[in-house]
Amino acid sequence: MDAVVPDLIARLEDSAAASQGHLVRVIALSGFGLRDDADGAVVNAEGIAGRVLGGLCNEAIATEAANLDDAARAVIQARVTDADADAAGMVCGGTAHLLLSPVGDLPTELARLLREATPLALITPADGTGHELVITKKSVVTPDGEISDTAGVDEALLEVGRTALQGGRTTSQVEKVGDTEYLVSTIVPSTRVVIAGSGPMAEAIAAQGELMGWTVDINEDVDAGKAFLASAGPADGLVILSHDRAVDVPLLDAALNSAVGYIGGMGSRGTQTARRNALAELGHADQSRINGPIGLDLGSRNPAETAVAIAAEFLANRTGRDPGRLTDSSGPING
């Protein structure tokens, strides 16, 4: 789904384009073996943007969409042979059940949320009979554009959307609420992280981040860091390793004035106090967004272990969880 976000933004912000084309999402698969459950695409007269099963369903999607009115929605089936699947590197062929939703029916606020890199869940009845509902961690956007804390949405449906978001990744799945099955598609922007520092600690954090699928840049240049922060969103992070006040304070200042989701600062408690004092002089009375000393208390003693503690704190921060042992909890163990 990440691949279609720029296309969605363009179409939703252009009122003329927003009345054309369809959003394509996977409802269910029969066969295929392993696949990327973040599949999603936009199809219109210009073709298909995004991906559904590595492009194996493109011809079927294009054919069905060409015969579908721009305001109509439909559930279609696309059959992929074993030979075609094998050529694409998949385990086997199968049948894909796909939902085509009119782009013009999507809440117009969706464009702003996507541009701000806000993690969200897009929910609609899986049988294609209803319109899309947008749920974020803090608000709900109904199909008619109403925005509020709950917007009168069924509490069970709201819980399904918020629980899906806690997984912290882009995915699509069918969930049953009452007697209705809903397609719940989460769009969680890819995480970008800038590490202001160098050495083994920076390299360990970068390795851990890349293992989790983050895009990581080790860079102590203040101007480069500020440029990153100007475009950063809730899924992104800044990790300060530098103890140079000419580097850490300007970047922390910029981070507190940005929408970046995670801010971490390594250093002793004395270093943390010096930074806080310098930032207070710049007018930052509230510095609660800064995690410093950085990382969870895991007893880490070397760069690799510390990187795990930092990545864990970052993940808990992004998913809104209070870190603790699963053994001591009673909720779901997968987010």
Closest C-alpha to 167, from 232, 120, 134: 120
**The pLDDT value given to residue 7:** 55
Same domain, 268 and 255: yes
Rounded Cα distance between 106 and 128, Å, is: 13
Of the pLDDT bands very low, low, confident and very high (cuts 50, 70, 90), residue 13 is low
Q: Do 250 and 302 have their domain in common?
A: yes
- 5 has a pLDDT exceeding 70: no
Q: Tokens standing for 139?
A: 């608000």
Q: Is residue 27 part of a domain?
A: yes
pLDDT at residue 3 in the model: 53
Domain boundary among 161, 187, 213: 187
pLDDT tens, 185-240? 988 777 899 999 999 999 999 999 998 888 899 999 999 999 999 988 777 899 99
Identify whether the C-beta of residue 243 lies closer than 8 Å to the C-beta of residue 271.
yes
Domain identity same for 114 and 241: no
Based on the domain organization, do 266 and 215 belong to the same domain? yes
Residue 269 pLDDT > 80, yes or no? yes
Assign 98 to helix, strand or coil. strand
DSSP secondary structure string for all residues of 55-96: GTTHHHHHHHHHTS-TT--EEEEEEE-HHHHHHTT-S--EEE
Report yes or no on 150 lying in a domain: yes
> Exposure string (b/e) for 34-54, b if CB count within 10 Å is 16 or more?
ebeebbbbbbbeeebbbbbbe
**Is 269 domain-assigned?**
yes
Tens of pLDDT, residue by residue over 41-67, are 888 877 887 778 888 888 899 999 999
**pLDDT tens digits along 167-178:** 767 888 899 999
Query: Exposed, middle or buried by CB within 10 Å (0-12, 13-18, 19+), for 209?
Result: buried
116 pLDDT exceeds 80?
no
Peptide bond into 293 cis (omega under 30): yes
For residue 332, being part of any structural domain is answered with: no
Question: Looking at the structure, do residues 19 and 135 belong to the same domain, yes or no?
Answer: yes
Q: What are the residues whose beta carbons fall under 8 Å from the beta carbon of 34, sequence distance 6 or more?
A: 90, 91
Confidence at 15, pLDDT banded by 50, 70, 90: very low
- Same domain flag for 72 and 220: no
**The residue type at 1:** M
Q: Can you state the angle between helices 303-319 and 200-211, rounded to 10 degrees? A: 50
H or E segment and range at residue 192: strand 192-196
Q: Are residues 125 and 178 in the same domain?
A: yes
Q: Please answer whether residues 103 and 23 qualify as being in contact, where contact means their C-beta atoms are separated by less than 8 angstroms.
A: yes
Question: What is the side-by-side strand order in the sheet with 47-51?
Answer: 47-51, 40-44, 22-31, 94-102, 74-80
The answer to whether residue 86 sits within a structural domain is yes
Highest mean pLDDT (candidates 126-130, 153-157, 212-216, 290-294): 290-294
Q: 55 and 33, same structural domain? A: yes
Q: What is the pTM of this model?
A: 0.63
Residue ending a domain, choose from 118, 152, 187? 187
Cβ–Cβ under 8 Å, residues 9 and 111: yes
pLDDT-derived band at 179, boundaries 50, 70, 90: very high
Tokens 């809730």 correspond to 234
